[in-house]
Structure 1
Amino acid sequence: MTYDNTCKYLAENYPADFARWLLASDTSDIEVLKTELNLEPIRADSLTFLQISNQILHLEFQTSPKSTPPLDFRMLDYYTRLKRQYWWDIEQVLIFLQATSSEIVFNTQYVDKKTRHEYRVIRLWEEDPTPLLANPALLPLATLARTDSPQDLLEQVAAAVDMIESREERQNISACVQVLAGLRFPKNLMRQLFREEIMQESVIYQDILQKGKEQGKKQEALELILRLLTRRFGVIESEVQQQIRSLSITQLEELAEALLDFSNPSDLVNYLGNIS
């Protein structure tokens, strides 16, 4: 199950709640930007862009601080591309879900020789759970917040979920809670507090299952293509491999057919360049 994708589901279905939490904004005039930022591939399952008046709230959720390219550079990269496309104010918030002592999660800026770019970082395990518990849309994040008694916190979340009036919303929020709580709590405890059938009936659970199947299919296609290319041309440069990994399932299938006509590595490079 993808933790990042669960957070993306929450942010895109409850944008006003995230704007209120992160920007102290009470406006309901919010649009989820389905923007396409070309060039280096974007991990669509971890990113959400919200338009609030003439401002963009860029949310990125991460379970692991490891990233290629590094997260600080990615934040700069996304900022410049968003700025070029919209020319609005941009608030960037990088939210780490799982507790870690890595120095990366304490970094709030990209620094180069003559370049400095700052962004906000939230480490959920340090956050006060009170405002998260008060908002149904943020209950899944509350499971990962600061506490001296994790089990008591999870019981509070479970009680708050039970109070959600809409059955459909209760199902979906419960599913999101159980997905994110899996980063912190054992399954047997969650089974005691949440009904499994409620999770299985939810939209987000079905969506996660479907995405899991798609990702498995893509991984199989990717591994096959890389094996074929390596067998044919030897070692494939890491930059070229990264381009291939960014392709969709459909693009990978098309590449699988096209590579039969490649005579040398430059044919592959040219093919990928034309896709870009």
Structure 2
Amino acid sequence: MTEPRADLDSPWKDILRAYFPQAIQFFFPNTAALIDWEQPYEFLDKEFQSIARDAEVGRRYADQLVKVWLLGGEQVWLLLHVEIQSQWESGFAERVFVYNVRIFDLYRQVPVSLAILCDEKLSWRPQSYTASYPDTRLNFEFGIVKLLDWRDRIIELEASDNLFAIVVLAHLKVIETKGRVEQRKAWKFRLTKALYEKGYERQQILDLYRFLDWAMILPEAIEREFWQELQTFEEERKVTYVTNAERFGFERGIQEGRQEGRQEGELAIVLRLLTRRTGILSPALRSQVESLPLEQLESLGEALLDFSSSADLDQWLQSRS
């Protein structure tokens, strides 16, 4: 099966930022126990951009720099690295070290460095960066979690109330069901049902489903079967959070944009949904979309709900050129 994998950077960043305390509590409980979660935490985006000069190079990372307060009243920065790509990276430990050095150089802060590894090589566990000479020795260590380590803890994950148990399950099942679309559909449906059964709030369900939908890509025909099953399930529970948000969110946004009298509103919604369905657009495709008149933007907004790759968008654009 050909799987056009959407960009995972954005959903990882979104879920981490929306539920940061839960992420640290799930992945790094020892560090989480030191933090005063009653105090506000702050994402240091400007500071991170100043030290991560390669942050715009690719889509492999979803790194975050966050200021938190410890229970003793001390301020500390957390440098959270998420290695998204399925292949391991030889220079990962060096990158973590370099970021730490840059932070100390610019801000005189020694951050707590933590890493979430999403790759598929079980033996790859970078935890330190070292250098040794006769008169100088360096040993920089940081904390890691390996998502593959939860492969034998599926029952535990399904029983957990922490939102990131669903995130880990989705990641593991994407790996497990490569080339087996029916099994992937079954797990996508099972995890989506769990969002309701765990009693999450509406926004939590939508946020988590966005991650599931982005990660657990299905061929168009199987996706349609999934949506029919999900619609039936939601109707039985008398809640239609996901199906309404996915299928009718665009039309609501168009109406809001029209009321504001801005074509930019429609364009922004279309671009956002296209990125969600097909991944990051190439500059050429994005330029073509941006040049569409209002009427064609509205048509594209309806058509894109069935896109599964950028090739679908390219074909749609060619048919109207």
- Verify same fold: TM over 0.5: yes
Match of 1:136 among 160, 163, 167: 163
| Structure 1 gap ranges (5+) | 222-276
Match runs of 1:80-91 below 5 Å: 80-91=101-112
1:125 is matched with which residue? 148
In the alignment, is the contact (CA less than 8 A) between 2:97 and 2:140 conserved in 1?
yes
> Structure 1, residues 112-150: CA drift from partner, whole Å, max 9, x if none?
34433222222212124535742235522222249xx97
> SS state of the match for residue 9, structure 1?
helix
Q: Does 1:95 align with 2:154?
A: no
Gaps of 5+ in 2: 1-5, 70-74, 178-182, 232-241, 254-268, 288-321
1:158-197 aligned at under 5 Å gives the runs: 158-163=192-197, 164-182=199-217, 188=222, 192=226, 194=230, 197=243
SS in structure 2 at match of 1:112: strand
Q: Is 1:112 the counterpart of 2:131 in the alignment?
A: yes
Q: Give the Å deviation of 1:215.
A: 5.3
SS at match of 1:134: coil
Please give the alpha-carbon distance, in whole angstroms, between the structure 1 residues aligned to 2:149 and 2:219. Answer: 21
Q: Is the 8 A contact 1:111 1:117 kept in 2?
A: yes
- Aligned twin of 1:37: 50
| Residues 108 and 121 in structure 1, CA contact (< 8 A), matched pair in contact too | yes
Out of 198, 214, 217, the position equivalent to 2:283 is: 217
Q: Secondary structure at the match of 2:129?
A: strand
- How far apart are the structure 2 equivalents of 1:219 and 1:65? 28
Matches within 5 A, 1:15-54: 15-24=20-29, 25=32, 27-29=37-39, 30-34=41-45, 35=47, 36-38=49-51, 40-43=53-56, 46-53=62-69, 54=75
Question: What is the identity percentage for the equivalent residue pairs of Structure 1 and Structure 2?
Answer: 11
Structure 1 residue 38: deviation in Å?
4.2
Separation in 1, partners of 2:285, 2:22: 35
Query: In angstroms, what is the RMSD of aligned CA positions?
Result: 4.1
1:71-125 per-residue CA deviation (whole Å, 9 max, x = no partner) reads 1111111111223344445222222224235x5x322222234433222222212
Give TM-score scaled by structure 2 length: 0.53
Would you say 1:6 and 2:11 are equivalent positions? Answer: yes
Q: How many residues align?
A: 215
Alignment partner, residue 225 of structure 1: none
Q: TM-score, normalised to structure 1's length?
A: 0.60
